[in-house]
């Protein structure tokens, strides 16, 4: 079977079965994760009950059999925000697309990310999306069918052995930069020690103000992101084309596997790996499908080491952002993997897409081998 058909099968799995009641066990670095299997199974019936279960100190399987809509539960805020230059330019284009305004961070427009050339504007946002739910260790969050939906609030993972499976997180102030991250993690003990065994599987994330997934500080040293749908199609995009720009940021001391996912409708940071002076990020990115990306996918920065193999890019303008920092081995017709890993790597395939070539590839493979 040629690789593109194998990838198409993976894509079909993500699209058709992401709403199924999923079980199984993780591949990659999160192998061995059990979540809340040693505890009881609970079915929250309200948003407050869901918050309580996820923050509980006991192991739990938290089953979502309905939509939990947090919008309006914590009020809204209207304040002075930032209208960046790219939003003003988008408005002037009158091309049918809308861009994002920005929530000012720390009271300072000049140092707020995403607020380039900013002018003042009133912004209104839902407060719930800026206050994520805390998920403590030994938890499984599992949706049933298409019912496992969380609207208006994301998750902060703060413990070892966490599984999030078959859950759709959406509607996080998508009209505003800094409107909300879907999943955030910075490690245990306030970010001083790495979390272990984090498995994100068959999830869907859409219509967020900021990142699908963000890691920082001690982060996690054993995470797998698998079989998931990252949907960047949006009404408000910084790139003024209906594609979400702020997609993934992997900073901190992070080690992860990214396997069999569908990333589409984005225009940047899909994913952004490394680039922070305190980062040490090692990633194995395999058998994913990138489709309809109007900007760049991979953005590799300093202190990042990435092996990308068996991935499929369709209509992706720039699979790799320009630069010299970091280390990426993008498997192609040549195969250096045998020299470092003792096995062959599956070549990436590109259709109607830009180039995807290695950068300091030998260094990446040497680090992956560990």
Strand order from edge to edge, sheet including 119-126: 119-126, 76-83, 101-102, 176-177
CA distance 14 to 348: 19
Tokens of 299: 């953005």
Distances 45 to 126, 211, 280, 318 between C-alpha atoms, Å: 22, 28, 40, 44
pLDDT at position 14 is 41
CA distance 233 to 97: 12
Of 83, 142, 269, 359, which residue is the catalytic one? 269
Active-site annotation holds for 269: yes
* Burial of 34 per CB tally in 10 Å (0-12, 13-18, 19+): middle
pLDDT at position 50 is 99
CATH 2.160.20.10 fits 3-70+128-369, yes or no: yes
Per the CB < 8 A criterion, the answer to whether 219 and 193 are in contact is no
Distances 234 to 3, 99, 106, 173 between C-alpha atoms, Å: 30, 10, 27, 11
pLDDT at position 364 is 98
As a dihedral over the C-alpha atoms of residue 227, residue 228, residue 230, residue 233, rounded to 10 degrees, the angle is 100
pLDDT at position 3 is 45
What is 35-51 written as a DSSP string? Answer: TTTTSEEE---SHHHHH
Q: Model-level pTM? A: 0.94
Q: In b/e form, how buried is each residue of 267-283, taking b as 16+ CB within 10 angstroms? A: bbbbbbbbbbeebbbbb
Taking only Cα atoms into account, the Rg of the chain, rounded to an integer number of angstroms, comes to: 20
Per the CB < 8 A criterion, the answer to whether 226 and 24 are in contact is no
pLDDT at position 99 is 99
Report domain extents, the chain. Answer: 3-70+128-369
Tell me the average confidence (pLDDT) per consecutive run of 10 residues in the chain, 370 residues long: 42 38 82 96 98 98 98 99 99 98 96 98 99 98 96 99 98 99 98 98 98 99 98 98 98 99 99 95 99 98 98 99 98 90 96 98 95
Q: Which residues pair with 59 in a beta bridge?
A: none
Match 């995807």 to its residue by tokens.
356
Tokens of 108: 């300072």
């Amino acid at each position: 079977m040629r690789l593109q058909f194998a990838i198409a099968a993976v894509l079909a799995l993500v699209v058709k079965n992401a709403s199924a009641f999923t079980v199984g066990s993780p591949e990659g670095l999160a192998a061995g994760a059990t979540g809340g299997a040693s505890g009881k199974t609970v079915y929250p019936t309200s948003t407050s009950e869901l918050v309580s279960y996820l923050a509980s100190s006991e192991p739990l399987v938290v089953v979502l059999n309905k939509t939990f809509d947090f919008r309006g539960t914590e009020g809204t805020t209207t304040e002075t925000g930032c209208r960046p230059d790219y939003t003003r330019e988008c408005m002037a284009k009158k091309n049918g697309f809308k861009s994002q305004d920005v929530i000012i961070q720390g009271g300072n427009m000049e140092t707020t990310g995403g607020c380039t050339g900013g002018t003042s504007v009133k912004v209104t946002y839902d407060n719930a999306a800026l206050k994520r739910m805390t998920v403590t260790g030994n938890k499984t969050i599992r949706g049933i069918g298409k019912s496992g939906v969380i609207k208006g609030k994301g998750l902060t993972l703060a413990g070892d052995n966490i599984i999030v499976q078959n859950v759709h997180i959406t509607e996080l102030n998508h009209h505003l930069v800094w409107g909300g991250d879907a999943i955030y993690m910075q490690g245990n003990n306030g970010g001083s020690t790495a979390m272990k065994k984090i498995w994100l599987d068959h999830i869907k994330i859409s219509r967020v103000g900021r990142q699908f997934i963000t890691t920082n500080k001690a982060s996690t040293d054993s995470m797998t992101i698998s079989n998931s749908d990252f949907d960047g199609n949006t009404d408000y995009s910084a790139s003024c084309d209906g594609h979400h720009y702020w997609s993934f940021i992997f900073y901190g001391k992070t080690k992860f596997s990214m396997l069999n996912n569908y990333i589409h409708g984005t225009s940047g940071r899909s994913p952004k790996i490394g680039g922070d002076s305190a980062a040490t990020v090692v990633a194995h990115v395999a058998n994913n499908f990138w489709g309809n990306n109007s900007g760049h996918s991979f953005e590799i920065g300093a202190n990042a080491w990435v092996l990308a193999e068996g991935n499929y890019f369709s209509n992706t303008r720039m699979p790799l952002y320009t630069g010299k920092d970091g280390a990426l081995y993008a498997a192609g017709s040549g195969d250096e993997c045998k020299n470092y890993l003792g096995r062959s790597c599956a070549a990436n395939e590109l259709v109607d897409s830009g180039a995807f070539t290695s950068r300091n590839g030998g260094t990446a493979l040497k680090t992956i081998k560990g």
